[in-house]
Amino acid sequence: MDDIRFHEFGDGRKVAFRHSSGSGPALVFLPGYKSDMDGSKASALFEWAKENARECLLLDYSGCGRSSGDFADGTLSTWRDEVASLIDAYVSRQVVLVGSSMGGWLMLLVAEAIGHRLHGLVGIAAAPDFTEWGTTEADKTQLARGETVYEDNPYGPEPTPTYPGFWIDGQASLRLTGEIAIDCPVRLIHGQRDADVPWDISVRLARVLRSSDVHVTLVKDGDHRLSREEDIALLLATVATI
């Protein structure tokens, strides 16, 4: 990928991104926890956007991928502000936020931040509020004491950490507890064999979104990643409708 660029913030952070010009609304992909823009879904979306002359923005949150920083310092609020800043700097039109897993939580926060710039949302195994429903009471106690929690990682050899700062910020960013004042078209895709994020989270999200234009698509044999050829085809077809 020789088209990687960097956006530098005032504190020295450098956030890596890819941007392709085209017509709108622009597509902005938000990766999941400890993920980056090199994933299969992000890459497929970027290539589809170029083939269809659609504007598209990918990025690595600080502490992830090619971006500078320490992952242990990352929070939803920090990454929300990074995404909003890149949209403001490089995208001149309305946007469709495409969020995968944690990115499906982050897209809600970014949507609130960019206001009238928002055109639509597409969630892939969206995981809003996972610091609440996805964390045991014992782990919450440990995190509240300022201790990092490590869990087995089914996708790699290294355990997955949850840092106290991320958890505290997540608990302050819960969105499933009341109405979410978003009125744009929303499309939510979720696999019913998702072992990480229960598919009923997407149903709960659909219920609390204020928008009346919300569709939930359940993939009966789909897992959490939804990265099979047919899953990516569904994602691209869904994006095309918005």
Show which residues are catalytic.
101, 194, 224
C-alpha torsion angle, residues 68, 72, 73, 79 (rounded to 10) = 70
Cα 184–chain centre separation: 17
Q: How far is it, in rounded angstroms, from Cα 70 to Cα 62?
A: 7
For 184, how many CA atoms within 13 A lie in the half-sphere containing its CB?
22
Q: Does residue 228 contact residue 234 with C-beta atoms inside 8 Å?
A: no
Residue in 145, 108, 242 with CA at minimum distance from that of residue 187: 242
> Hunting for tokens 């993920």 — which residue is that?
35
- What is residue 89's three-state secondary structure? helix
